[in-house]
Each structure stands twice: as C-alpha cells, then as structure tokens.
Amino acid sequence: PNRYLAGITEVALKNHVGDKTNWRTMLTNNVVDENLIEWREKLKQYIPEEALPYYLDNKRETQMEFPVLQYPSKVKSLNLDKTPLFEGKLKGIKGQYLIFEDNTVFNVRGSEGYYVGLTLN
C-alpha cells in the first residue's frame, strides 16, 4: 500500500534474490524459465512481519508475450552519441528495447533526454 513497505521488503529479499537482469542474455532469448510459484513460497519467510498482510499467495503467474520475430545472435547496442542517424528493420520489442534485423538494439529508457524521431515504411 506504500513505498515504505515495498522498500523494506525489497531490502529483505535482495539478500536472497539477484535484482539485476543480464540484458544481453534477455535480448538473445537465452533465458531459463523459472517456477515463480516455488520462488514465491521460498521467499515468503524473508518478508518483514509488517509487510506480510500484503503477501499474495493466491495469484497466478501472468504470461507476457513480446512481439519478437527475430532475436539477435550477438547484441550490438545503439549509442546515439556515436550514431545519431540509424536505419533498420524492426524485428521485435522486449521490455525497454527495440530489436533490429542487424542485431542492433536500442534502449529506449537509456536514451531519456534525447529527441528521437521514427519513420515507418
């Protein structure tokens, strides 16, 4: 219900679960499908007492399908400072990344503050 409870829960759980996603692994779709129900049960014991009333033990996993036609075999990150003009065929979107046919990926969130124009053909 508030940022305080979320924060103390996050601090308590970070000792038991890594909070960083390897973005290159994610973008090549080389990921392991984890059983989130098992993880939820395993981590419940570490949730602070004052946050336990908000523990949801009856929620099911939500599957999210990203529209990706082709994953990159080797990720090339687009840097707008080095490459201010880029053309490519969009092959997918995964999280905050646009994936292009030539293995180039564009981190939309990492480019905050830039003015980006897109032309679609």
Nearest 5°: CA angle at 96, between 91 and 97? 35
Instruction: Return the HEC string of 20-53.
Output: CCCHHHHHCCCCCCCCHHHHHHHHHHHCCHHHHH
pLDDT of residue 118: 83
Domain boundaries, the chain: 3-54, 66-121
**SS3 call for 98:** strand
pLDDT of residue 61: 85
Give this prediction's pTM: 0.73
Per-residue pLDDT of the chain in tens (121 residues, 90 and over written 9): 999 999 999 999 999 998 777 899 989 998 888 898 999 999 999 999 999 999 998 888 888 877 899 999 999 999 999 999 999 999 999 989 999 999 999 999 999 999 988 887 7
